Structure 1
Amino acid sequence: MRWRIRRADERDADALALIGSATFLDAYAGRMPGAGIVAHAAAKNQPATYARWGTAADHALWLVEADEGGAPVGYQVVAPPDMDGFTAAPGDVELKRIYLLSRLYGTGAGQALMDEAIRWAREQGMARLLLALWDENFRALAFYRRQGFAQIGQRRFQVGAQVYDDPVLALDL
């Protein structure tokens, strides 16, 4: 599939909410309890949330779209750190979400998103780019380590009734 990436804003809230839920399901179906995935996606991927983020000066959003037809196929959000159980330092920014539909793995779309996040964070004068992820997401862990991220802590992340202790990774900018 051919794709394109662009900055997103509040006008893209519905597409971001759709791809947010779709990619979370795509990534974790069969790996986490289904009811928890549904509840998490419904709570965390409200269009109003993306609309608010799309107008916030301290947030940056990107949308990946299929070249043909423009369907949303991935996205990312960079924002002030907000990680339960982890205290960020001044100058930190969080890569809050970076997701692609699995059929885009290996196409370069993930690298393009990461490059945009790093570029934006540097332009903002940030010191470190943080992210957290499920420790059983081995493909993503390997990708982030290739980018130069190293583990600096843990945070708590709840999906349904299950609480996970996720590693927090950082990249010095």
Structure 2
Amino acid sequence: MTDFPIWRIRPAGADDADALSLVASATFLESFAGQVDGAGLVAHCIRQHSADSYRKYIAQGAKAWLTEVEPGHAPVGYALLCEPELELAREGDLELKRIYLFSRFQGSMMASTMMRTVRDAAAAGHSRLLLGVKNDNHRALAFYAKHGFETIGTRTFDVGGKTYDDFVLALNLAN
């Protein structure tokens, strides 16, 4: 990539809920438009990616980060760690609920730096990091495998009232 922008990853708080909501909806739409029902995508983003949902996660102790580029610190990615909501979770686990980056910036060191930031934060007091990923999202699956995640099960995931198949992945943090 030529003329790659100056960028940073920074912790996000409740005051960043609007930016988290915006980049969450935009990256989710970018990732799944044409693969997942369009009306379901819109309904999912309205319900799951509202600013209030991010405020609630943060109020409950979740950790979030924004990846931003110059000029003006425009958000282009984000990550969210929270207490596990996955059924395969066990004591000592933490969930990487969301990690997305606009496709324009994928394949750069931004994504790996985001993952390293999340992994380092999760390692403090936790034994495994879990996440769910659409079972045919080969690019994401390859990225997670590169970072040491392994498939431990499956689940169904609801997007606007329609269900899709996910793999549940885990990364052992004890190493």
TM-score normalised to structure 2 length: 0.93
Number of aligned residues: 169
The secondary structure found in structure 2 opposite 1:133 is: strand
Match of 1:82 among 67, 85, 105: 85
Moved more, 46-55 or 113-122: 46-55
Percent identical pairs in the alignment equals 46
Matches within 5 A, 1:22-101: 22-57=26-61, 59-83=62-86, 86-101=87-102
**Cα distance, 1:53 vs. partner?**
2.2
Match of 1:10 among 14, 19, 23: 14
**Cα distance, 1:87 vs. partner?**
3.0
The secondary structure found in structure 1 opposite 2:134 is: coil
Q: Write the deviation string for residues 35-91 of structure 1: whole angstroms up to 9, x where unpaired.
A: 11111111101111111223333x1100011121211110000011112xx231100
Q: Write the deviation string for residues 103-134 of structure 1: whole angstroms up to 9, x where unpaired.
A: 011121111111011101112x1000001110
Conserved? CA contact 2:151–2:168, under 8 Å: yes
Listed as ranges, the gaps of 5+ residues in structure 2 are none
Listed as ranges, the gaps of 5+ residues in structure 1 are none
Q: Would you identify which runs of 4 or more consecutive aligned residues in structure 1 move more than 6 Å?
A: none
Conserved? CA contact 1:133–1:168, under 8 Å: yes
Structure 2 residue 121 is matched with structure 1 residue 120:
yes
* CA RMSD of superposed structures (Å): 1.1
Structure 1 CA distance for aligned equivalents of residues 150 and 67 of structure 2: 26
Moved more, 70-79 or 161-170: 161-170
Match of 1:140 in 2: 140
Question: Counterpart of 2:67 in structure 1: which amino acid?
Answer: V
Question: Counterpart of 1:37 in structure 2: which amino acid?
Answer: L
Conserved? CA contact 1:9–1:55, under 8 Å: no
